[in-house]
Amino acid sequence: MVEKVKLIDVSKCTGCRGCQLACKQWNQQPARQTENYGTYQNPPDLQWNTWTLIRFQEVVEKDKLKWLFRKDGCMHCTDAACVKVCPSGALHYTDSGAVAINHGICIGCKECVSACPFNIPRYDRVTDKIYKCDLCLSRLEADLIPACAKACPTGAITFGDKDKMIKKAYARVKELGGDANVYGDKFVGGTHVIYVLQEKPKVYQDLPRNPSVPLTVTIWKDLLKPMSLLAAGGVIGGSFLHYILHGPKLPDEPGQEKGGE
């Protein structure tokens, strides 16, 4: 399969959250009762059962209030820190270039949670597994586009061959002018989710300006992992990795995840 990219043009997003709902529906992720946190952003953060989230942000420009909407979720890095660090091999690349997870072999070590430069994977203590977007692998295998792209009524999310989508992104930035820019094609080997941003990246909350694979992860992958005890099924390898990177493992605290469980 040719490498694919999901292009998110935030200038066309109306914040309707059709994509958020479509993601939940296709992936059969249960909704949770929620409450008013004083923002339309709901739930407040990504969760083990919310793999894509529209972030709402208010900015003041020339004394006028302006909404910024940004669809957040896995960026599907080419040089993915989560894949590098995963001791069991549960996180892996697919033919389209996306990063998917085999839950059957995830050991719940949460190393991918610490390593991801975009703060994406979320842990569920009930199943002792992590969860995140897999770019709708089951749909791609059936020649369908991701559910979020299919649902978007404004054309803010489009999906296609990598080269074509990157060209489209730069053409749109030219059309928009001002501070518009392409975000995603220049770091972590290029991501398979690319944004057209209206504002400079620093304006968007929760969006890293220069995301990179943490040095500890590179050291682990290139130097320590080959020497670790992965042959023992990943469990010992995972513990060894955690000890090397973070020290002794502490008990999981309830409510550690903002808005999660």
Q: Which residues of the chain form contacts with ligand SF4 (CB under 6 A)?
A: 13-19, 54, 69, 71, 74-77, 80-82, 85-86, 88, 90-91, 99, 101, 106-112, 116, 118, 120-121, 130, 132, 151-152, 154, 156-157, 238
Closest CA relative to residue 203, chosen from 31, 67, 52: 67
Radius of gyration of the chain (CA): 19
To ligand SF4, the closest distance from the beta carbon of 64 in angstroms equals 21
Query: How far does CA 58 lie from the centroid of its chain?
Result: 22
Nearer to ligand SF4, 156 or 173 (CB): 156
3-class SS of residue 46 = coil
Say if residues 133 and 141 touch (Cβ distance below 8 Å): no
Nearer to ligand SF4, 14 or 34 (CB): 14
To ligand SF4, the closest distance from the beta carbon of 231 in angstroms equals 16
3-class SS of residue 179 = coil
Residues whose CB is less than 8 angstroms from the CB of residue 36 and which lie 6 or more positions away in sequence, other chains included: none
Other C-beta atoms lying within 10 Å of the C-beta of residue 74? 26
Nearer to ligand SF4, 136 or 151 (CB): 151
Nearer to ligand SF4, 63 or 238 (CB): 238
Tokens of 113: 């949670």
Nearer to ligand SF4, 26 or 118 (CB): 118
CA pair distance 223, 240, nearest whole angstrom? 13
**Alpha-helix residue ranges (DSSP H) falling in 27-161:** 81-85, 111-115, 137-141, 147-151
To ligand SF4, the closest distance from the beta carbon of 63 in angstroms equals 26
Nearer to ligand SF4, 132 or 173 (CB): 132
Give the residue carrying structure tokens 């792209």. Answer: 149
